[in-house]
């Protein structure tokens, strides 16, 4: 997991080849005006999902993990609260892995919480279980999905 300011994204370009293109999109696109939904950047290898959602609170947020994609999450407006726990420490599967949606859910509690402020990003790798939307109130969020292949 990485948490940093979007202005510092260059530090992480070498971590995975497509991260650079994902960060460049996030820094150049007008995320306030993009319509909600999926927008292709590089087909299925790199795309962004824009969501206007309500926070669920820490009790309503569920740990999730992905196998095929890395998430770059950015709070466009307001802040998000995201729980985190190493996937290796997750013991209680609440929904098994769905390969079509690339997601599985856990009933375990996060080990720590991080505040995702506007202008910051969080990167979650397949070994990172994360519980997004744990904040309160309305939130516009961009999630860039980066294929791990």
- How many domains are there within the chain? 1
Distance of CA 140 to the CA centre of its chain: 13
Contact 88, 127 (CB under 8 A): yes
Torsion of CA 52, 54, 59, 60, to 10 degrees: -70
Residue 123 has pLDDT above 90, yes or no: yes
What pLDDT digit, counting tens, does each position of 51-81 carry? Answer: 999 999 999 999 999 999 999 999 998 999 9
Arithmetic mean of pLDDT, 12-40: 96
Q: Give the domain range for residue 124.
A: 2-147
Arithmetic mean of pLDDT, 16-43: 96
What pLDDT does 149 receive?
80
Torsion of CA 73, 123, 125, 89, to 10 degrees: -100
Question: Which residues are CB-contacts of 97 (< 8 A; sequence separation ≥ 6)?
Answer: 67, 103, 104
- The pTM assigned to this predicted structure is 0.96
What pLDDT digit, counting tens, does each position of 90-122 carry? Answer: 999 999 999 999 999 999 999 999 999 999 999
| Percent of residues, the chain, with pLDDT higher than 70 | 100
* Domain of residue 78, CATH code: 2.60.120.370
Residue 49 has pLDDT above 90, yes or no: yes
């Amino acid at each position: 997991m990485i948490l940093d300011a979007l202005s510092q994204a260059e530090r992480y370009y070498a971590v995975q080849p497509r991260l650079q293109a994902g960060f460049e999109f996030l820094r150049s696109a007008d995320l306030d005006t993009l319509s909600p939904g999926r927008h292709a950047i590089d087909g299925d290898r790199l795309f962004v999902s824009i969501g206007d959602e309500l926070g669920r609170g820490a009790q309503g947020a569920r740990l999730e993990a992905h196998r095929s994609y890395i998430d770059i999450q950015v709070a466009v407006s307001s802040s998000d609260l995201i729980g985190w726990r190493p996937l290796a420490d997750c013991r209680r599967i609440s929904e098994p892995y769905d390969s079509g949606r690339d997601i599985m859910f856990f009933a375990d509690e996060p080990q720590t919480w991080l505040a995702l402020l506007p202008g910051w990003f969080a990167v979650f790798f397949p070994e990172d279980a994360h519980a997004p939307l744990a904040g309160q109130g309305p939130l516009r969020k961009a999630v860039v999905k980066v294929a791990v292949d």
